[in-house]
Amino acid sequence: MQRIANLDDIVEGLDALCLLDPRLDKVRGMAGEVPLRLSEPGFRSLASIVVSQQVSRASADAIFGRLTKLLDPLTPQAILAADEAVFREVGLSRPKQRGLIAVAQAVADGLDLDHLCQLDATVAIAAMTKVPGIGPWTAEVYLLFAAGHPDIFPARDVALQSAVGHALGIEPRPPEKMLIRLAESWSPWRGVASRLFWAYYRELKGRDAAPPA
C-alpha cells in the first residue's frame, strides 16, 4: 500500500481524484494549497488528536500548547504521573482527561502506536478503538496523519461534512453514512480527498478545521 509521505503523493492523489470524480477539479481549484499534514507516529501525535476531539482547532492548539509546556516531554508516564491540577490548568474537560489517561495507560501497557501504522486500516482501527477515549474518528485521523494512510475518510468529521455538502450542493450537509457512501468513489485516495476538503473548508470559512498533525 502506497503511503502519503510527501507533497508529490498529494499531487498524484489529487490528479487521480479529479479523474475519478470530475466534480473535484473545481473543488481543487478553490481549495488552494492542500497540505501534507504528516506527523511522527507515537504518543504525542495521538494525544494531540485526543485533545482536539469536539473542539475548534484554535481551542485544541491552545490546550495542547499549554499541556506540552507543563509536561515536557509529553510521554505516557508524564500523563500518568500528572496531578489533576495540571489538567485543570490546561483546560481539559473531565471526560477528555479520563480519555487521555486511558490512552497513556494503554501505551504504557504495550499498545504499539508505531506498529499500528503498518497494519491494515481496519485492523488498526479495531485495535485502537478498544481503548477508552479512542473512537473511530480519533483512530482514523491518527492513521491519516501519523501513518500517511492513503485511503481513509473520517466521515464523522463535521467540517468534512460541511465542506462536501457545500462543494457538491448537498443540503443539508451529508450525515456520516451518506458521506461514507460518497467517499467510496474516491478510493483508493480517500486520504487525499479528506485533505482536499479540509483545505476547501479553510478557504470557505477562513479558518482551519483540520485536526492538528
Which tens digit of pLDDT belongs to each residue from 166-197? Answer: 999 999 999 999 999 999 999 999 999 999 99
Q: Where does the pLDDT of residue 78 fall: very low under 50, low under 70, confident under 90, or very high at 90 and above?
A: very high
C-alpha cell read off for 152: 481513509
Please return the burial class of 33, using the count of CB atoms within 10 Å of its CB with bins 0-12, 13-18 and 19+.
Answer: exposed
Which tens digit of pLDDT belongs to each residue from 79-89? Answer: 999 999 999 99
Is the pLDDT assigned to residue 1 strictly greater than 80? no
> In whole angstroms, what is the distance from residue 143 CA to residue 125 CA?
8
Our CA angle for 195, 197, 198, nearest 5°, is 65
pLDDT at 212: 87
DSSP per-residue letters across the chain: -----SHHHHHHHHHHHHHH-THHHHHHHHH---------SSHHHHHHHHHTTTS-HHHHHHHHHHHHHHSSS--HHHHHH--HHHHHHHT--HHHHHHHHHHHHHHHTT--HHHHTTS-HHHHHHHHTTSTT--HHHHHHHHHHTS--SS---TT-HHHHHHHHHHHT-SS---HHHHHHHHHTTTT-HHHHHHHHHHHHHHHHSS--SPP-
> In whole angstroms, what is the distance from residue 194 CA to residue 152 CA?
8
Give me the domains of the chain, ranges plus CATH numbers: 7-37+151-205 (1.10.1670.40), 43-145 (1.10.340.30)
Share of the chain above pLDDT 70, in %: 100
Chain centroid to Cα 71, Å, comes to 23
Q: Where does the pLDDT of residue 213 fall: very low under 50, low under 70, confident under 90, or very high at 90 and above?
A: confident
Which tens digit of pLDDT belongs to each residue from 134-161? Answer: 999 999 999 999 999 999 999 999 999 9
Across the chain, mean pLDDT equals 96
